[in-house]
C-alpha cells in the first residue's frame, strides 16, 4: 500500500499487515507531520509474492527515505486523529488551572469579607461573645461596650483657704453611633503600690451624649489622703458604687 503525507506529499510504500483495523498514527520522516492512517480494505486473496522492502517515493528529486524513516505511532487514549492526546489534554489542563485560580480568588474574597465584618461589627460580636474582647484588645482594637470613652484624666492638688484640695478633670466622648446615657463617675485614689486609699462618686453634669459628642467633667475632694499618688476614673455603674 502507498502512504502519502498530507502535509508535504511525500509518498511511502508500506506493508498493509502493519495496519490492523481501524488503523494507526504515522509520522512523516521528512516533515514530522503525524496523521491517522486507516487500515486498507481486506484483500479477497492472499498475496503470494514476497513483500518488497519499504521505500519512499518523492515527487521531487532527492534521496529517498529508508525503512527507518517511516515511523509508526501508537494511538494514545484511543484517539482517532493526529496528536489527539497532546492537543486534547492542553485545554483540559488550562481549564483545571483556571478553576483552581478562581477558587483561590473566591476564598480570598470570602476571608476578606469575614475580616471586614469582624472589625466593623466588633461591638455586637463582643456583646454576644464577651471573651472575644481579649482578642480584639490584643490586636489593638479594644471594644468599648459602654460606647463612652473617658479621656484626658488629670489631677491637681492646691491649697484653698489653707485646706488642701484635690481637683480631678477629664473628658467624656461618645464613640458609638447612637445617643448614650451618661452614668455617674467614680474616682479612686491609689498610693504608689496601687493600693486603694479613698473613693467617691459624682455626677458629670450631662445626661446623654449624641454620637461623637464630648463633655468635660471635673470634681474636687478636700483634704485628700496624703499618700495619694494615682487617680483612677471609671463609671460607677461598673459595680454599682
Q: Where are the domains of the chain?
A: 2-79, 148-238
Query: Is residue 70 over pLDDT 70?
Result: no
Task: Give the global pTM.
Answer: 0.44
Three-class secondary structure assignment of the chain: CEEECCCCCCEEECCHHHCCCCEEEEECCCCCCEEEEECCCCCCCCCCCCCCCCCEECCCCCCCCCHHHCEEECCCCCCCCCCHHHHHHHHHHHHHHHHHHHHHHHHHHHHHHHHHHHHHCHHHHHHHCCCHHHHHHHCCCCCCCCCEEEEEEEEEEEEECCEEEEEEEEEEEECCCCCEECCCEEEEEECCCCCEEEEEEECCCCCEECCCCEEEEEEEEECCCCCCCEEEEEEHHHCCC
pLDDT score for 52: 45
Neighbours of 224 (CB within 10 A): 19
Mean pLDDT of the chain: 79
Q: Which residues pair with 215 in a beta bridge?
A: 172
- C-alpha distances (whole Å) from 43 to each of 46, 58, 215 are 7, 27, 108
86 vs 172, more confident: 172
Sign of the C-alpha dihedral computed for residues 19, 20, 21 and 22 taken in this order: negative
**Closest residue by Cα to residue 148 from 241, 210, 202:** 210
Per-residue model confidence as pLDDT tens digits over 9-44: 888 888 887 877 788 888 888 888 898 888 887 766
**CA–CA distances in Å: residue 106 to residues 94, 97, 99:** 18, 14, 10
**Cβ atoms within 10 Å of 112's Cβ, excluding its own:** 10
pLDDT for residue 96: 87
Fold of 148-238: Coagulation Factor XIII; Chain A, domain 1 (2.70.50)
Ranked by mean pLDDT, which of 22-26, 77-81, 155-159 comes out on top? 155-159
Quick check: 189 pLDDT over 50?
yes
Q: Which grid coordinates belong to 10?
A: 511525500
Comparison of pLDDT for 136 and 70, the residue scoring more: 136
Amino acid at each position: 500500500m502507498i502512504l502519502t503525507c498530507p502535509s508535504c506529499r511525500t509518498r511511502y510504500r508500506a506493508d498493509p499487515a502493519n495496519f490492523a483495523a481501524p488503523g494507526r498514527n504515522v509520522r512523516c520522516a521528512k516533515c514530522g507531520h503525524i496523521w491517522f492512517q486507516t487500515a486498507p480494505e481486506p484483500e479477497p486473496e492472499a498475496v503470494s509474492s514476497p513483500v518488497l522492502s519499504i521505500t519512499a517515493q518523492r515527487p521531487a528529486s532527492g534521496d529517498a527515505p529508508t525503512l527507518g524513516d517511516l515511523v509508526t505511532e501508537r494511538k494514545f487514549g484511543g484517539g482517532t486523529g493526529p496528536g489527539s492526546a497532546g492537543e486534547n489534554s492542553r485545554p483540559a489542563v488550562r481549564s483545571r488551572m483556571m478553576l483552581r485560580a478562581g477558587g483561590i480568588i473566591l476564598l480570598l474574597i470570602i476571608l476578606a469579607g469575614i475580616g471586614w465584618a469582624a472589625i466593623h461589627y466588633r461591638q455586637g460580636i463582643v456583646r454576644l461573645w464577651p471573651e472575644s474582647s481579649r482578642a480584639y484588645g490584643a490586636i489593638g482594637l479594644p471594644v468599648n461596650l459602654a460606647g463612652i470613652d473617658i479621656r484626658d484624666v488629670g489631677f491637681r492638688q492646691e491649697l484653698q483657704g489653707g485646706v488642701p484640695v484635690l481637683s480631678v478633670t477629664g473628658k467624656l466622648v461618645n464613640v458609638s453611633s447612637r445617643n448614650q446615657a451618661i452614668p455617674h463617675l467614680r474616682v479612686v485614689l491609689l498610693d504608689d503600690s496601687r493600693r486603694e486609699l479613698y473613693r467617691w462618686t459624682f455626677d458629670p453634669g450631662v445626661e446623654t451624649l449624641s454620637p461623637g459628642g464630648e463633655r468635660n467633667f471635673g470634681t474636687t475632694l478636700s483634704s485628700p489622703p496624703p499618700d495619694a499618688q494615682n487617680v483612677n476614673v471609671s463609671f460607677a455603674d461598673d459595680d454599682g458604687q
